[in-house]
Structures are given as structure tokens and as C-alpha cells.
Structure 1
């Protein structure tokens, strides 16, 4: 993206401030009420019989939650890794990867990982649903779902504008303008422009890497001709440009010819700094009609995404090293990986929600989804030390994939008494996939067809799967402030094909669907006139054919390759505790704790029996706590905030090798906001990762060397806000 795009978006954002007027600030005297739609209807979070954490837009702003990395530190059981921008991996209770956690924006499923790069600009709320969502959400949500809801235009004029400067040359501006156009039509536009320099430095090129330049916009038109109709057209687009992630040789193998950099974010690397570019665009039409028989909902959406990534994923020096003791010259292993992907998707959902008398409520619907994607993955490699000459070359996998999915679902709630309710639902899902992969070039492990060496191959295959996923629960409103429930639910994640494997028959053979039974009980409680909220959930999850990616050694003394497959059986159990308290006016204490225990009970990967291993990316302990205090003085309001996160160690892959252990992490964030009491302007001084901890995002083992990339270092800045 060129500078003119960034400057144009910046000008739009800053101009919005001219339309703003006064705002009123109030200090909290009770915990905030959160309304969610986790069951496809508006409900108080405290009366929803499933594990869900909801964040209001106001809390997101106060807590400086601006991306998925911020969100995962504050959310029970949620972890987030990113191999490269546009290639995120979300896990909930250890389950994710390849779509196991579904991401929605305004009820539209984001079918590709690069589509889920959501900008936290004009959000009304975020809901994180934990556990399988096999009835009302479907679409592979075995681990859970993350749902973003943007602010809707209405009959009131609203303006928000922000400008931020910070270290690493951070400059960011954002704005929202919303209001009525006529008596029946309202509109909204929100924009953001952001750029920062790199968090790492490549001494070979003399340039920063991991920089970013981004611009995004979202617009909406809302038509409400009468009380029965509510129709909204949404349009959004974003563009991101930046260099590749920095990969550091964090752990050296005993016989490694490599040499790690003295500083983890600085050193000699490849002469190519790589790139990480993403373009997203989409349009959706959300319509609601309150008819005499119930509320009809139609959600029609089309989305397009393109992502281009190129990086040296071993992050290693390519100039020779002099090994005087052995009188030879050593070189580092080299992996340059490039991925170019394009995808288009169309989805249509139809729902009807109705009340049948005073005791029975139900919702039913139909869903269709189609995704067409093209991916080209190219790898350049060079290995030394395996013979008299280096092993080097280039190979590529070009793949196409078409997915068609159909579903029908129904769920009902019956009130046995005013306090006691039964709920049951079921979903039928059917997926069809056509897949083609063409392998070419010089693969270091060679290409094979049925074990016979071939120069390359073209493999085309198709498959389909169907599944029934029921759910049943019982809930009881013990008192107006105490709600308990128990739930049994089943989740389904469609089967699929590997995009790249040196063996042709592995491409032709699809991996199986993934299934899970989830047993869950929970309590939602409030105390002392809503000054204290405590929610607790206990869960046990029984997985069959858990889909995993396993590094498999296909050739002696050469790096393992990633192969997709099914993991037999796995068990996951634990509990989640969340609290929020306002002991005195203006003081808010909040936090959560998660305990997760997991075990593979049956998995054979090649010649390895992985039974007894732990599920990857599932820390046993995760703890978050925060406090904010607001005080008025001299006509001003000051609000201070401190947040702390602890996460115990976990393995990055299912092999559980020591070099892929992500060590325990701690994080401190803080902020101080000041502005005129009841005024429109405020200024915040903030900091993230204040202790400048080295937080691993992703780590991979190659021949005993462990390569890692990291979350941002210490960042800090000043944000000027204007709200009407």
C-alpha cells in the first residue's frame, strides 16, 4: 500500500472530529451488563446456558484490546498463534487449527484464515463461545467460535475519532461517523489507518522487518421502513503491507552447524526480507422481518481474500561461518517459503425464530456455503553437512479446492416452570469437497506415487461427509442472581485433503471428519446488588479422529515435513472461572482462571505412537487479572488501568518434543486516561508488554534446531480520543 492510501485514510479519520460534540462520562457503581446473541437471540450473558465470554465495545476500548493477541490474553482457554500475517491459528481448550474455531463478523462466517484479520475499530461487542457449537453455528466449530458484531447505524448521530503515536514509529488514526440520513434510512462509515516500523532488524539487508502499513474501511446502510423490517447492507475492505515475520534460532541442536543470534530480534538473515500482504473485501445483506408467525432472518454474504507471504522461516544466516577447530566452513540451513492464496466465498443463511405460547421458543434454519480457493506454495531450501555437496533446490505445490456445504438446524427451549427450562437442538451438515494438487520441482525428500519415485505428480480427488450434531441442556434460575446449567453437545468438523505431501497417494486419500462430545456444567452468579459477578464452568471433551498436522520424517537426516491426518482419540477436561467486581464506586476488579488437562489416548503417526502426549497449544494454567480506577478531581476525570496475564508452558506441536515447548509467559499492560469530566476529549498514555518479555508466537523443530517468532516487544504510546 502506498503512502497516499495511508494519508487519505488518515485525513478522513481526523476530519471526523470536527463533527463531534460533548460526551458524558460516568463512574461505574455495578458490574457491566453484557447482552449476547450466542443462541441467535439477544440474552443477558448471565442467563445463557453455555460457556461464553462477552466484551462490550466500551470495555474493548478501555482495555486497549486492539487485535487477537490482546484478546487471547484476556479470554479463558483462548490461545492465538500466527505463523505469518494472514495465517493465524486460534485454539480454544486446545482445539483449533484448520477451522476448528469458527470466526464470524456480523453473523457471516469467515471461511479463510486471512479473512479473519478483523480490525477492532467500530465493534459493538465480541463474543467468545467455548466448546463445540454444532447446532446453531456449525461450520467446523468443534473448538468454539469467535463472533464480532459491529456498531449499527441508528437514529442518533455518533462520532468517534482517535489518533495514536508510539514507539516503533507507530502512527494510527481511526474514526466512525454514524447517524440518520432520513426517517427510515441511517448510515455509518468507519476507517482506520495504521503504520509502524519493524520489531526486528536484519543486519544482512540493514533493514527493519515485521513492519506494517494498513488501511481499512467499513460502511453500512440501514433501512427501517416500519417496526417490522430491519435491513442492513454492509461493505468492508482492507489492505495490509509489510515485511515477513522474523524467525530466530532459539534452540540449537547438539550437532547444529548453525549459530543463534546474540539478540533474538536482531541478526544476520537472508538477503530477502520477504513480505506479508493481505487484501480483504466483502459485502453482506442482513435482513430481519417480524412477521405474524415469528422473526425471519436472512444473511447473504460474499467475500474475497488474497494473501501473499514470503519468509525465511528458519531465520538463519546465509553467509559462511569459519569453524577453525574443524578447519571447515559451515553454513546454516535455509528454508524460504512462499505462499500465494486467493479465495472467494458465498454464504446464505435463513432463520425463523418464534414463540409457541408462553412456554416454548424455537429457532430453525437453513444454511449454504461455497468456497473456491487457489493456493501456490513454493519452497527454496539449502542444507549443509549431509554430504560433500549441499542439498538444495526448489519445489512447489499448486492446489485448488472447492467446498460446498449444506445444513439444516433447529433448536427449542421449553419452560417446565418459570425457573426450570429444557433446551434441545440438532443440526444436519453435509460437505462436498473437490481438490487438486500439482507437485513439481526438486523436493529434498523426492516425490513418490505408491512408494515409487516420480519427478512430480498431479492428484485430483473429491469426497463428501454428512453428520448429525445434537445438543441438550437443562438450566435453572435458582434465584434472580444465580443461574445454573448442564449441557451435552456434539461437534463436527468436516474432513479434507492435504495441500502438500511428497506422496501422491496421501493427497488422493482424504482425512476424516473430526467429532467431539462435550459435557459441561456451569453457574452464573451475581452478588451484592451486582457489585460482584462470578461465573464458573467445568467441561469434559471426548474427541475422535481429531485432525492434526504432524511433522513426519520421510528421509533420513533431512528435515521432517508437515502431514495432515487424524489423531485417533483425545480427552480434554478442565474448568474456567471468571470474575468482575466493583467494590467501591469507580473501582473495577476483573479476571479469569483456566485449568486445562489434555491427553492423546490413541494416535499412531508413522512409526511413532503418540498416545499419552498432550494436545498442542493447550497450557494447563492460564490466569488473567486486571484493575481499573476512575476518579474525578479539579474538573477532570482520570482512569488508571493495570492488567496482568500468566500462561503456563505448552507444546507447539502434537509430537511434544522438548525443543517445541513454549515456556511460561507473563505479561503486564497498563494505561492512564485523562480528560475533562463530562467532556468529549480524553488522552491516554498506555503501554503493552511493559516488562519487554520475549513471548513466543510459534515454534518449529527442524533437525533439532528450534525456530521461533515472537509477539511484539514492549510498545507504548499516547492516544487522543474524541467521542460524541
Structure 2
């Protein structure tokens, strides 16, 4: 009943936003007025969310776009920084190779050689098969597009929650150079450089580099060393080649190298006296078995060919990418000893992962506009090979024998797809779109699972499986005026199946998890008011899931640590509202807001141990997310401007676990960031002072839930510093 009320209320809100424009008399009156220039550029942002260039305000989808200036002003350096700035997006990170992104309550909790994510990441339209690609530094980007809701028609598999597309800045036809250097607390040292310009009359090039270094935010009391530190280098290069008047070729390559110690863990929501006695004194100081490591390397290259042919715009994207990860973590962070009488937790747990992956992809697209009909159609191919070794060790204070579980796995995946999407414009007001995609996944999985944690080990697995899916979408749009549109859409997405990376029996190791499917029903409005000084967009959605994949932790007899499993939850639903607003109060002051409301529920009987989670909320799906950003520019003199930026982010309570129990409860958070910059108008430089998490809020970003407690990784503390930027 509550979800029906949510959807009904949201529908009224969406229609109210366009009510003025939907009145025929008012629509005629507004349309007859000249459309004045936008005070801000928000309404004129160009995106390619539908695989063609469009104004953001003309796209009948829930899309957030963050441009280069906004990314810089907010110091957005990773996907984690989008949390709160994009409605219903929540980010957590188990380790540097396992980012967990959720949009509208949908994401993935489990990693494995054959497993994939519910929110897909693309770099310049190239799909990243491995999740570790999502932890790379973001720099030298033209924009980031975040598409909310299933994108199965144009983006393919693993987009049931949505998709993120990072669009790199392209080589420029005029010389450009930019240097920046940053210092901050925790011995933060950062440097970035960009050089771009023409190499010949037909070739332009761009090269950029970024380095980040900081000490650890937390301390391992066993060794006295920092953990959660970072040392990274990112490189990107591109050549933009005009082969002829009708053919353009962009060759690009990128590389990212990350090194650092392991992640901190701290016991929270403690209901066990032994854990309470053995826990670290605070969230930043804990007892890890060793410092661990979080080392990742990712690189790729692509060739994008665009041909303005007689039959339409032909695009070919050929890409190769590779990812390597070497991770070692203590998952508890408590004091542990087998010495009689020593203060100790009942058990400890460590995890080590080595993974290597290679992928190849090819996409062909043909797009054209014939009269009132626009379309894009294409073919897609993807192949990935993954080698992964994961070792889990559980040590008990009461036993000298460790429980060990080792998985050596190889996975191969090949995907094919055919898709088409078209839009017909009946007149200046009405537009109808329909699209369809057929996808096929072929997967093979081999694994040797050894150790002594489960009876009957070792197990050998050699399985293969194929799935196919049809993912359509239908959209109807009504443009009441050039600046006000409402739309309704029905779309479908799917996430591929795979094999559990940590099975508890031979039978479980051989059974593949089924794909998950979602159907999205959505209405929305995109509007501009006050001569485009106010941009106000809203959407209301209802999403119906089949075979939703969820992660569970279950206590089994003889096991000190709950056992993780990936299962299909049957049916589930969620409904919500998303609002985005941008107001130019004056020519110098701009205010933006993003809000998401989310109501989720598992609607099938699913047993997690002895608990039926039917009726529970999805894990990591806060009911409310909100961000408020204020930017002000003040002229100080003919030579200098002062820029001020402030942001506030709120996330309401949510459960980290599907069971919705107290150890997995995350309390509401309030985060404040701010910056001030002095801009030299005639000298091509600026200096900024910045601070993030100014109130030093301590809040968990990842929790492993155990009996009577949760072991949490915490967000970075308060950070601050100064950045000097020079541009030529």
C-alpha cells in the first residue's frame, strides 16, 4: 500500500511541475515568448545518454550530468564522491578491487570470477567488465553521465540499476596546457597535468597525468603503521585524427596504478562482550593481523571510428582492457590471541585475493534522422577471461587449527547483442520512442575449491551455461513548450547469472545463479522556469524484479564465521521519487539540489538461515538521500575574483544487510564540504582552499555482519588542503 501511495504522490508531483506548461492557453503564451539566454549552462548541457547528442533537458530518461567544472569545484576524484550528489546513488567499497554501487536500491554485494554488477560502468562507451575499474581516479573528463534505472536497450546487460559513463576530454584544436598541485593533511600530495593541441592540420593530441598520495587515515595498533593509505598514478592519451572530410578516428589509451596498505575494520553495534573487550579504542585505531595491501592495475586502449556515410552516421568502437588486483585484508580488526587469559576476540578472519582479467569488445552503430524519424541500431560483442585465487582463513581463540578455504577459479564469458532504438516526432509536442535489444551470454566456469573449512573438500567444478534476454523500452514524450517536457517510459533490464565464488558444498558450487530481471515503469518531467534561471526535473518510478540476486550471510553449524552466499530472492519491488533542481539566484550565485526517496521490499519468501526476509527492505537502500550545493562568485577587483563553494549531503538510516538486523544498521549521516578560490583574471592561475567532511563525521561505508556485531570500514575523516592551478 505504501508503494502505491508513493507512486501516486510522485505522479501528482511530476504533473504539477509541468502544469503551467500543460495548460493549452499558457503553453501557447509561453511558447510565443522569445526564449532568453540561459543564465547558467545547465539547460544546455549536451549528453549522449541515448547514443546521440541531445540537450540534457530533451532526454526522456532520468539522467544526471556532471561537467568538468562541477567535478573540479567539488573535488570529485572517484565514483565514491558521487554519493549524495546523484539521487538514490549509494557507494560502498569492500576493498580497492570491489566497489559496490547502488542506484535506486539495486547493486551487487558479491565478487567472484564469473559474477558481474547491477550498475555498469563505461569509459567513452566502452563497458568495463571487472568492478575494479570503478575505483580508478577520475580526471581530465569532459563530463560524467549517470543514468538511473534499467538501460538494457542501449547499454545492454548488467544495467538493471543504471549505468555510469565517463566521457574523456578530447584533444583540442588550439594549444592548451594545465598544471595543478595540491597539498593537504595526512601528507596529501597531488599533481595533475594536461597538454593538448594540434600536431598537424589533421591530427590533434591530448596527454594527461594525475598522481595522488596520502598517508593512511587509520592506524594498525599491532604494527603501529598506517592503513587505508594511497599512492596512485593515472595516465591518459588520445589522438584525434581527421582521416577525411567524412571520417574521424580517435585512438586512446589509459592506465591506472594503485598501491596501498589494507583497509581498516572496526567492530560496531557490539552485542558480544568478548568482541567489545577486544575491539580497537575507536574507529580509527584497530588491531589488524597485518597491514595488508590493496594493489590494483588497470589499463586499456580503444579505437573509435566515426563515418558520416551516405546511409547515416556509422560508429565503430574497438577496445581492449586488462585488470589486475592483489588484495590482502583483515576483516575483523580486533585483538586476537591464543594465549590463555589474553584479551581476545572469539575469532579472526583474513582474506586474500589475486585476480587477473582481460577483455575485448566491439560495437558497431548506425544512426540517422529521416524526416521526423531518428534511430540508432547496432551490434555488440564482448569477451572476457578471468583468473582468480581467493583464500579465506578463520582462526579461533579456542582452537589451534585454522579454518582455510581456497578457491582457484577460471571464468570465460562471451556476450553478443543486436539492438535498435527509434523515435518518431509527430509534431512539435508529441514524440514516441521504441527500442529492443536481444542479448546472449555464454559462460564457462572452472574451479578447484580446497582447504578444511567445509566437509568433503576439495571440490572440482567444471560448468558452462548460456542465457539470453530481450530488453525493450517504450517512451512517450510531450513537449508543452521548448522548455517543458513530461514523459512516460517502460523499460526492461537484466543482469547475467554466474557461479557463487564461495560455495559451502559441492552441490552449491556447481549450480549457477539465475539472471535477474527488472521492469521499470516511470514518469518524469524536465522543466525550465524564470527565463531558464530555474531548472526543475522530477521522476517517479516503480520497478518490479524477478529473480533478484542478493547476498546473504548465514550461520552454519561448525562455522565460526557466517557463510556468504549469492541467491535469487524471487520477486521484489521498489518505488521512489527523484528530484533535481538548479537555480541561478543571481548572475553570481547558483544553488543546486538533488533528492531521492526510496521504498523497497522483498516480496517473496527467502530464508536467510532461520529468518524469512520477505517484507524486508533491500540492503543499502536509504529512504532519503539529499544534497544541496551553493556556488558564489564575487568580484574583488579588476584583477581578481573570489569563488565560494559549499555542499551538504544527507543520507537517512539504512540497513547494510538483507536481514535488516541491528548489527547492520547504519545511522543517518550529515556531511559538509566547502572550498574558496582566488582567481587571477589576467594571470591564468587560481588557488583554492578546500575541506571535505568538515565536521569529521564517522560513518561506516562497508559492513561485514556477524553474530552480535558488525565489522565496519569507515569513510575518510576530515581532510583539507590547498590547490594551485595554472592554465595556458
Shift of 1:607: 4.3
Which residue in the other structure is 1:691 paired with? 695
**Aligned residue for 1:7?**
none
1:451 aligned residue: none
- 2:251 is the counterpart of 1:233: yes
Contact residue 338 and residue 397 of structure 2 kept, 8 A: no
**With structure 2 as the length reference, what TM-score do the two structures score?**
0.91
Within the candidate set 617, 620, 632, 1:614 is matched to 617
After superposition, the Cα gap between the structure-2 partners of 1:331 and 1:580, relative to the gap in structure 1 and judged at 3 Å, is closer
Map of 2:515 onto structure 1:
513
CA contact (8 A) 1:156 1:179 kept: yes
Q: How much does 1:115 deviate?
A: 1.7
- The reply to whether residue 368 of structure 1 matches residue 387 of structure 2 is no
Tell me, yes or no, if the aligned pair for 1:322 and 1:330 is still in contact at 8 Å.
no
Three-state SS of the structure 2 residue aligned to 1:659 is helix
How does 1:29-40 map onto structure 2 within 5 Å? 29-32=39-42, 33-40=44-51
Q: Who is 1:16 aligned against?
A: none
TM-fit CA distance, 1:34: 1.2
Verify the 8 A CA contact 1:173 1:193 in the aligned structure 2: yes
CA shift digits 1:140-171 (9 cap, x unpaired)? 11100000000011311121211000000000
Which one of 185, 194, 200 corresponds to residue 167 of structure 1? 185
Distance across 2 between alignment mates of 1:197 and 1:173: 16
| Contact kept in structure 2, 1:31 and 1:530, CA below 8 Å | no
**Distance between the aligned counterparts of 1:135 and 1:331, measured in 2?**
50
What's the secondary structure of 2:497's corresponding residue?
coil
Structure 1 residue 557: deviation in Å?
6.1
| 1:267 CA drift (Å) | 3.2
Q: For 1:392 and 1:335, how far apart are their aligned partners in 2?
A: 10
Q: TM-score, normalised to structure 1's length?
A: 0.92
Aligned alpha-carbon RMSD (Å): 1.6
Alignment of 1:63-212 (within 5 A): 63-97=74-108, 98-212=116-230
* Aligned-pair CA distance for 1:381: 1.4
- Give distance in 1, aligned partners of 2:495 and 2:636: 55
Instruction: Name the counterpart of 2:300.
Output: 282
Corresponding position of 2:368? 354
**Which stretches in structure 1 are left out of the alignment for 5+ residues?**
1-26, 448-453
1:402 is the counterpart of 2:412? yes
1:333 is matched with: 347
How far is the alpha carbon of 1:329 from its aligned partner?
Answer: 5.9
C-alpha distance 282-144 of structure 1, shift in aligned 2 (>3 A): same
SS in structure 1 opposite 2:50?
A: coil
**Shift of residue 390, structure 1, vs aligned partner:** 4.7
Match of 1:268 among 287, 302, 305: 287
Residue 381 of structure 1: aligned partner: 394
**Aligned residue in 1 for 2:545:** 543
Corresponding position of 2:60: 49
Pick the aligned partner of 1:718 from 696, 718, 722: 722
Is the 1:29–1:586 Cα contact (8 Å) retained in structure 2? no
Q: Which residue of 2 aligns with 1:304?
A: 322
5 Å-filtered alignment, 1:557-706, equals 558-605=560-607, 607-634=610-637, 635-706=639-710
Q: Given the superposition, is the C-alpha separation of residues 593 and 331 from structure 1 closer, same or farther in structure 2, using an over 3 Å criterion?
A: closer
Contact 1:514 1:546 in 2 (8 A): yes
Cα deviation for residue 500 of structure 1 reads: 1.9
In structure 2, what is the Cα distance between the partners aligned to 1:164 and 1:278? Answer: 23
Superposed displacement of residue 565, structure 1: 1.3
* Aligned residues of 1:277 and 1:308 also touching (Cα < 8 A): yes
Instruction: Give 1:321 shift.
Output: 8.3
Contact 2:522 2:542 in 1 (8 A): yes
Aligned counterpart, 1:450: none
Aligned to 1:14: none
Say whether the 8 Å CA contact 1:258–1:332 is kept in structure 2. Answer: no
Aligned partner of 1:426 among 422, 436, 440: 436
Q: How many residues align?
A: 681
1:501 Cα deviation after fit: 0.8
CA distance in 2, matches of 1:195, 1:330: 34
Residue ranges of structure 2 left out of the alignment (5+ in a row)? 1-36, 109-115
| Contact 1:405–1:432 under 8 Å retained in 2 | yes
Superposed CA deviations along residues 528-559 of structure 1, whole A, max 9, x for unmatched, are 11111100000000001001111122225632
**Following the alignment from structure 2 to structure 1, what is the Cα–Cα distance between the partners of residues 421 and 400?**
61
User: Quick check: 1:557–1:703 contact (8 Å CA) kept in 2?
Assistant: no
2:363 and 2:357 mapped to 1: Cα distance? 20
Distance in 2, matches of 1:190 and 1:102, equals 25
| In 2: Cα distance, 1:589 partner to 1:459 partner | 56
CA drift at 1:251: 2.6
Tell me the distance in 1 between the aligned counterparts of 2:649 and 2:343.
Answer: 45
